[in-house]
Amino acid sequence: MRGVPSGDVLRRRVETANPPLNPYAVTLVEGVQAHVDRIDELLATYAVGWTLDRMPAVDRNILRIGAYELLWCSDVPDGVAISEAVGLARELSTDESPAFVNGLLSRLQQLKPSLTL
């Protein structure tokens, strides 16, 4: 939201470590960063009627995390990844965001076997 690369923010937070960062949060930031181009391509392709730039920043980043967990984290069940993303959207974004996040991540889940990652 501030226009600062997530890797820079993560690096500064790890250095200060006050309060200490949850190791899984670090994994999510690094994982999304490693796959952001493919994640954004998938989101842009399957977000009917929305471009990445038009999405609220909160929704876009929740979707990135959800897509990363869904497609690259084999230890996270698909339903959990989607449910957690929808919960974050419910807490942090607009009234329409949970349905949008659920629909887009569910579509990626359906397509998962045929996607080239």
Q: Which two tokens stand for residue 92?
A: 């942090």
- State mean pLDDT over 78-100: 97
Domain assignment of residue 82, yes or no: yes
Helix-helix angle 97-111:23-46, to 10 degrees? 80
Spatial neighbors of 117 by CB under 8 A, at least 6 apart, are 35, 38, 71, 72
Number of domain units in the chain: 1
In a domain, 101, yes or no: yes
Residue 9 lies in a domain: no
Q: Containing domain of residue 66, as a range? A: 23-114
pLDDT tens-place string over residues 28-60: 999 999 999 999 999 999 998 899 999 999 999
- Calpha distance 18→72 (Å, rounded): 29
Please report whether residue 2 resides in a domain.
no
> How does pLDDT run across 8-29, given as a tens digit for each residue?
777 777 778 777 888 899 899 9
6 lies in a domain? no
Q: Is the pLDDT score of 2 beyond 70?
A: no
Averaged confidence pLDDT in the chain = 92
